[in-house]
Amino acid sequence: MSDIHLAYPTESGTVSVLNNASLTVPPGETLAITGPSGSGKTSLLLLLSGLQRPDRGEILVGSRRLGDMDSNTLADWRSEHLGIIFQSFHLLPGLTALGNVSLPLEIAGQGSAREQALAMLDAVGLSHRLQHYPGQLSGGEQQRVAIARALVHQPSLLLGDEPTGNLDQETGEKVLSLLFDLHKESRSTLILVTHDERVAGRCQHRVRMEGGRLYDV
């Protein structure tokens, strides 16, 4: 991404979130984005996912320019190439663990959705919780389901927004190790927004977001 500008209108005026921000991440590598609350880190992930568009600037993911895609093309691109892990999990309460992980593949029309979901849930250590609903799972288990869902279609780009933010230290360490192990196996590009020094320390590269800009650390 290069020369990205993003601003939000508010009652008291326009608030600049990103100001001439640029970022390059080599394929297959890991990056931590740190910075104070409200500095625009989550907005940056939304831009990289195509869920939000910048006011100005260019975002290139692999060979694809996100600004050149319409909403349908972006949706197709996300379903094939992108995995997102949200801090608050965003699991569908009416679906079991297996249903939540199978859903992205089913939407994409893959006939082996159930088999792939079973394999991924086994990889995250939840083969014994397949038929449990999110409300029946602990926070750590829900986060593992969210990781399985994000990785089940083997995305080339994986984004995480405070992936251990809601977990205790012991569970967070287990989830973090699992995430990096699976990333290594899939060889995806991994970008994590975090306040956690343990998470940032595991990444190959690190940038800090402040004042609408990105700085190498």
Tens digit of each residue's pLDDT (9 = 90 or more) over 17-45: 999 889 999 999 999 999 988 888 989 99
Q: Could you tell me the pLDDT band of residue 49, with boundaries at 50, 70 and 90?
A: very high
Task: Say what the pLDDT of residue 89 is.
Answer: 87
Tokens representing 136?
């029946």
- pLDDT tens, residue by residue, 128-171: 999 999 999 998 899 899 989 998 988 999 999 988 877 778 87
Domain boundaries, the chain: 4-216
Phi, psi values for residue 184, rounded to 5°? -65, -40
Closest CA to 34 of 166, 211, 190, 197: 197
Q: Which pTM was predicted?
A: 0.89
72-106 burial string, b = 16+ CB within 10 Å, else e?
eebeebbbebbbbbbbebebeeeebbbbbbbbbbe
Reported as a pLDDT band with limits 50, 70 and 90, residue 58 is very high
- How large a percentage of the chain has pLDDT more than 90? 57
Query: What is the rounded CA–CA span in Å between residue 60 and residue 47?
Result: 11
Q: How far apart, in whole angstroms, are the C-alpha atoms of residue 103 and residue 212?
A: 36
Domain formed by 4-216, architecture = 3-Layer(aba) Sandwich (3.40)
pLDDT above 90: residue 113: yes
